[in-house]
Structure 1
Amino acid sequence: MTDPAYPQIDAATWAFIRRTDSYYPPDAVDLSVAEQRAVYDRMCAAFRAPRPAGLDCRDDTVAGVPCRLYTPEAPGPVTIVYFHGGGFVVGGLDSHDDVCAEIAASTRSRVISADYRLVPEHLHPAAFEDARAVAASVQGPLLLAGDSAGGSLAASVAHALRGQADLRGLLLIYPGLGGNRDQGSYLTHANAPMLSRADVVWYAQARHGGREPATPDPTANVLDDTDFTGLPPVVVASAECDPLADDGRDYARHITAAGGRAEWLLDEGLVHGWLRARHSVPRARAAFDRLLDRLLPLTGQG
């Protein structure tokens, strides 16, 4: 299967897309929430890689939030708090276990994966409150990271904790940050494989119980903020074939315009959710390795 609208997607990535669709169909948002979670968990389990050796991994509660802690031998000074993707509806400690383990091993840093509350049982700002509580509880230097919905949480928490925590960096992987859905990549890639504009709208509405509020709220959409100063160095990676691509670009531009440090990486030919392809798609492997390289100096290990 190929799509003439996406000649930049290579054969290996199409194979990844087909395999993903076999577990988690493109119309998954039409399933019940319980069904969505079941198929998402099966998909993540199918792609899950073994943890690297030499990690101490244990589940614990941090600031009242269930978490999984990954500690390498002789960890560096910076703790990474990671927020998983899943549209605020699906995902958890197991869905991103291998990603967090590989980040911990590669950066030689302690990683805390937060199992924040999900919708529809817990509407916004529940996930944000959990994410902020975990991050605020960390003693010492801190780096926030996340993919997709988790990238949104990481950015919003970084804005909320400015001046209150020793923030050393921010890593956002194909994040949704609340950009204008009637222009740019939201239209160009409205029907992209893996995530469509309609999916983005569905998840955003679900986060608020069916209707998004009209009032700007940086705790939900960080691009609603009017102050982009006082932030740590930011690395934001967007997949080219993703309606969310412009969110990362625009966020980086706001930060640099405010005098901060931000790098926007556009991963050409990649799609939303490519993290699960890092062991099967060369482009995804290269994108992941590039992010690990960017993390090393931010964690004091580079």
Structure 2
Amino acid sequence: MTAVDYQSLIDAPTWAFIEATNAAYPPDTATLTIADQRAIYDRMCRLFHRGYPPGLAVRDENVAGVPCRIYAGKAPAVIYLHGGGHVVGGLHSHDDVCAEICDRTGLTVVAVDYRLSPENLHPAAFDDACAVIRAVAAEGPVVLAGDSAGGNLAAAAAHALRGSGVRLLGQVLIYPGLGGEVNKGSYLTHAHAPMLSRDDVLFYKDIRHGGPPPEDDPTVYPLRDRDFTGLPPTLAIGAQCDPLADDARDYAARIKAAGGQADWVEEPGLVHGYLRARATVPRAAASFARIVNAISTFAKGDQP
């Protein structure tokens, strides 16, 4: 397979972001202990933290027994599930992302501090996500959003909660890992992409289960569900230079083939984790504006 020319695909501002990330979170971090991975990830996230917009009201409280951070706004609520391979991340890692979503949409955002692996194997994180969604949705309809592992959890919950009375206005999935075939497509083309490699994907896939995962469980792999009907309107966003890129495309295609509403965007020249680059990389800023617009549109009951 021909090597990808990342020097031409990725622009200078994005390379600067990649280099700053690698300086704080080296590419071999996945080989370290879980405690070290989390400490390094937390330090890296603090480096990129943009602070809060003025006047934002934020509080921490348990929702359905799960720690959450609530960014106060109007209804409907946005439930945000953070990335981090089901292993790292929490309320602080995506704190400023959620704050900006709240500020720019005016909507309440509920960030979920779901349980992490390997201490809490699947379905712990999935159960936490579903519990918070049910609790918040008891007060009114909600919009789901999540990046990477959080996109996986959002989609898995959307599949599981069909027919339960929970009203999901839409879901925005940002470079999600949804269970695509790891031996073809973007998993091979971008196996050595900056920021996330195919080897990283395989490591995080297994650690969530303490061994090889079940292959056809839609709570693990939403893409492998056999039924894509009844899902909320969806925007699935892939980063071009990411082994997970095809998952967003294929997921949106399955929903559309089943008669649902779904759009897919592949962000050119962007890499996994680009949400942290939204203030310094024009392409990332444009994608974040797309994300915010989709959330606002879904909240109105419309389609982006």
Q: Residue in 1 aligned with 2:211?
A: 210
Contact kept? 1:233, 1:261, Cα under 8 Å:
yes
Aligned-residue RMSD, C-alpha? 1.2
Q: Is the 8 A contact 2:87 2:117 kept in 1?
A: yes
- Whether the 8 Å CA contact 1:151–1:176 is kept in 2: the answer is yes
Q: How far 1:7 moved relative to its partner?
A: 1.3
Partner of 1:254 in structure 2?
254
Task: Identify the residue that residue 130 of structure 1 maps to in structure 2.
Answer: 128
Q: 1:301 Cα deviation (Å)?
A: 8.9
- Tell whether the 8 Å contact from 1:23 to 1:43 is kept in structure 2 after alignment: yes
In structure 1, what is the Cα distance between the partners aligned to 2:106 and 2:299?
A: 9
The whole-number CA distance in structure 2 between the counterparts of 1:117 and 1:180 is: 26
- 1:197–1:243 contact (8 Å) kept in structure 2: yes
Aligned mates of 1:93, 1:241 — CA distance in 2: 27
Tell me, yes or no, if structure 1 residue 10 matches structure 2 residue 11: yes
Correspondence for 2:23 = 22
Aligned counterparts of 1:146 and 1:199: Cα–Cα separation in 2:
19
> What is the SS of the residue equivalent to 1:27?
helix
Residue in 2 that maps onto 1:113: 111
Secondary structure, aligned partner of 1:217: coil
Residue matched to 2:66: 65
Given the alignment of the two structures, is residue 144 of structure 1 paired with residue 144 of structure 2, yes or no?
yes
Contact 1:229 1:258 in 2 (8 A): yes
Query: Which of 53, 78, 81 is the matching residue for 2:79?
Result: 81
Give TM-score, length-normalised by structure 2: 0.95
Secondary structure (helix, strand or coil) at the match of 1:58 reads: strand
What amino acid does structure 1 have at the position aligned with 2:209?
A: H
Q: TM-score, normalised by structure 1?
A: 0.96
1:163 is displaced (CA, Å) by 2.2
Distance 1:98 1:301, change over 3 A: farther
- Structure 1: state its 5+ residue gaps: none
Compute the displacement of 1:162 (Å): 1.2
- In 2: Cα distance, 1:55 partner to 1:163 partner: 35
The corresponding residue for 2:240 is 240
Residues 112-141 of structure 1, C-alpha deviations (whole Å, 9 max, x = no match): 000000001000110000000000111201
Worse-superposed segment, 30-39 or 284-293? 284-293
The residue number in structure 2 matching 1:49 is 50
Q: Distance in 1 between matches of 2:245 and 2:94?
A: 21
What letter matches 1:102 in structure 2?
E
Which residue in 2 is equivalent to 1:101? 99
CA deviations over 1:248-271 (Å, ceiling 9, x no partner) = 000000000000000101100000
Answer yes or no: is the 8 Å Cα contact 1:108–1:301 preserved in 2.
no
- In structure 1, how many angstroms separate the alpha carbons of the residues matched to 2:161 and 2:55? 32
C-alpha offsets along residues 10-63 of structure 1, whole Å, 9 cap, x if unaligned?
Answer: 011000000000111101111000000000000000000111123210000000
Q: Deviations over 1:74-115 (max 9, x none)?
A: x1x311110000000000000000000111111111110000
- Equivalent AA in structure 2 for residue 157 of structure 1: A
User: Is the Cα–Cα contact under 8 Å of residues 187 and 243 in structure 1 kept in the other structure?
Assistant: yes
Distance 2:294 2:55 in 1: 22
2 CA distance for matches of 1:207 and 1:174? 18
Seen in structure 2, the aligned counterparts of structure 1 residues 167 and 4 have a Cα distance that, compared at 3 Å, is closer
CA distance in 1, matches of 2:130, 2:57: 24
Amino acid across the alignment from 2:246: D
Which stretch shifts more, 52-61 or 193-202? Answer: 52-61
| CA distance 1:222–1:69, change in 2 (3 Å) | same
Taking the aligned partners of 2:153 and 2:16, their CA distance within structure 1 comes to 30
5+ residue gaps, structure 2, are none
Residue 294 of structure 2 aligns with which residue?
Answer: 294
The total of aligned residue pairs comes to 296
Partner of 1:191: 192
Identity of paired residues, percent?
58
| Contact residue 107 and residue 301 of structure 1 kept, 8 A | no
